[in-house]
Amino acid sequence: MTEDHERIDELLAGYVLLSLSGEEAAEADRILVDHVPSCATCRATLSELQAVSGDLALAAPPVDPPETLLPRLHHAMDEVPLAGRTPRRGALIAVAASAVALVAMGGLSLVLGNRLSNAETRTGTALEILSAMRSPGATPVTVTPQDQTPPDSGMVEVSTADRLYIAAEFCPEPTPGHAYQLWLGSDDEWTAVGEMFWPDNGVLLLEVTGVDVSQFDGVWITQETVGSPPAEPSTDGPSWFGTLR
In the bound state with other proteins, the residue whose beta carbon lies nearer, of 146 and 209, is: 209
Greatest alpha-carbon pair distance for the chain in Å reads 56
What are the start-end ranges of the E strands in 85-188?
102-106, 109-112, 139-145, 155-159, 163-168, 178-186
Segment 114 to 153, residues that bind other proteins, using CB under 8 A = 114-118
For residue 53, state whether it binds other proteins (rule: CB under 8 A): yes
- Per-residue 3-state assignment (H helix, E strand, C coil) for 220-245: EEEEEECCCCCCCCCCCCCEEEEECC
- State the number of binding residues for other proteins (CB under 8 A): 63
Q: Are strands 204-209 and 102-106 parallel, antiparallel or unpaired?
A: parallel
Closest distance to other proteins from the beta carbon of 82 (Å): 10
- Out of 32, 171, 179, 203, point to the residue binding other proteins (CB under 8 A): 179
Query: Residue 194 is inside which H or E element, if any?
Result: strand 189-197
Segment 184 to 203, residues that bind other proteins, using CB under 8 A = 194-195, 198
Distance, in Å, from the CA atom of 171 to the CA atom of 223, rounded to the nearest integer, reads 11
- Out of 30, 33, 41, 48, point to the residue binding other proteins (CB under 8 A): 48
Instruction: Give residues in contact with other proteins (CB under 8 A).
Output: 9-10, 13-14, 16-22, 24, 47-66, 69-70, 72-74, 76-77, 80, 104-106, 109-118, 176-177, 179, 194-195, 198, 209-210, 226-227
